[in-house]
Copies of this chain bind each other. A is one copy, B any other.
Amino acid sequence: MSVILRPVPVALIGLGGVGRAILTQLLSPPLSSRFQLILIANSRLSLSLPLPASPITPNNYLPILEAHGTQLDIPSVISVLSTHPDAPGILIDATGSDVVPALYSQILSMGVHLVTPNKKGFSGSLELYSRIQSASFPHGNALVYGESTVGAGLPILSTLKDLIATGDEVEKIEGVFSGTLSYIFNEFSKVGGGDVKFSEVVKIAKDKGYTEPDPRDDLSGTDVARKLTILSRLIPSSAPLPEGYASVPTQSLVPDVLADASSKEDYLSRLEEGDAYFSNLREEAAKEGKVVRYVGVIDLKAGKVEAKLERYPHDHAFATALQGSDNIISFHTKRYSPRPLIIQGAGAGADVTAMGCTSDLVKIHERIARRI
């Protein structure tokens, strides 16, 4: 017996690496039967679907968008989603901008559901975050999901929500939240020792495409602080963080001596000036039988949220278990004590980040889809 559920209309804004991977997943089974893609857009142009002629594919969308797209107008995209015959639809904000997040509460108020890998709406000011919460279910009708804002496709937010919704008490969340900084420190500070220079590892990470175009965006720790803000706001007893990530004490790895670098090129060419600082850190840790990792910590007992360098003994999971650009997040709770609940795996990359978004789409589909 086969049962057909009404496909939910979806619009996708943002066609960078993650947006393209979302597009690919949406156009493939099993998602293609659950969702009807009615619009795609990059930062300039939008294209209404389905096309009159042949269907759109991950390979042909770009020239068609360039040739037939019309100027992107976000209010009209929202209007299309809220007035569609199968409304309400879902907007996927796969942009990295803060323009769309500023509109989230308005979008939700029109009954349009939201899925996004964009951290800006949830990790900025408490005022913006509260407006989004007030406009979404259960206060309003529309749902908002952002699983991939932390740990990409790893079930981090859903697990934290489950712990809290079932009455567990979070005591501490500690983890390596940045794929870039995971890679850099897994290579730089190993259990077996090592003498590679910090600047060399950063350059290799950049060449492999693991860093943002300007590596300072990763090394500043801001991305980790944003993720900590998103997690922290799900915990009722946690600090309010009125300015979001800017309220999180965050250790920058851009050495003081390079703080005045005029450009990323200048920064990269002068990166060696910081090598002595990091080599010294590694040696100090090694003397204690430890490695160095860049971690985020939410300590409910101490009332602290911090992004910082920390030392871990050689038999600690953060020292032994990590490879490549893996994330690892440990939840210490009243129930998961003394040993934490741990989730580990690739925390960055277009496919797994897209999966975080498409799994959110499935959860919305489960909550709203009706039979034909």
**Interface of A toward B, CB cutoff 8 Å:** 1, 3, 5, 25, 28-31, 134, 138-139, 153-155, 158-159, 162-168, 315, 317, 320-321, 323-324, 326, 331, 335-336, 339-346, 351-352, 355, 358-359, 362, 366-367, 371
Is A355 a contact of B138 with CB atoms below 8 Å? no
A138 closest partner in B (C-beta)? B3
Q: Determine the chain B residues whose CB is within 8 A of the CB of A28 once the complex forms.
A: 167
> Chain A contact residues: over half helix, strand or loop, or mixed?
mixed
When A167-B30, A326-B339, A351-B335 are in contact, do A362 and B321 touch as well, CB less than 8 Å? Answer: no
Is B323 a contact of A320 with CB atoms below 8 Å? no
Q: Determine the chain B residues whose CB is within 8 A of the CB of A3 once the complex forms.
A: 138-139
Q: A341 is contacted by which of B1, B159, B336, B344 (Cβ under 8 Å)?
A: B344
Nearest-Cβ distance from residue A236 to partner chain B, whole angstroms: 9
Is B165 a contact of A155 with CB atoms below 8 Å? no
Is A167 a contact of B31 with CB atoms below 8 Å? yes
Q: Cα distance A352–B335 when bound, in Å?
A: 7
Q: Determine the chain B residues whose CB is within 8 A of the CB of A31 once the complex forms.
A: 165-167
Q: Cα distance A357–B359 when bound, in Å?
A: 21
Q: Cα distance A69–B76 when bound, in Å?
A: 61
Q: Determine the chain B residues whose CB is within 8 A of the CB of A25 once the complex forms.
A: 166-167
Q: Determine the chain B residues whose CB is within 8 A of the CB of A351 once the complex forms.
A: 335
Is A355 a contact of B155 with CB atoms below 8 Å? no
When A155-B155, A351-B335 are in contact, do A315 and B320 touch as well, CB less than 8 Å? Answer: yes
Q: Determine the chain B residues whose CB is within 8 A of the CB of A343 once the complex forms.
A: 155, 341-344
Is B355 a contact of A345 with CB atoms below 8 Å? no
Is B345 a contact of A323 with CB atoms below 8 Å? no
Q: A154 is contacted by which of B30, B317, B320, B341 (Cβ under 8 Å)?
A: B341
Is B335 a contact of A340 with CB atoms below 8 Å? no
When A138-B371, A352-B336 are in contact, do A162 and B359 touch as well, CB less than 8 Å? Answer: yes
Q: Cα distance A167–B166 when bound, in Å?
A: 29
Is A355 a contact of B168 with CB atoms below 8 Å? yes
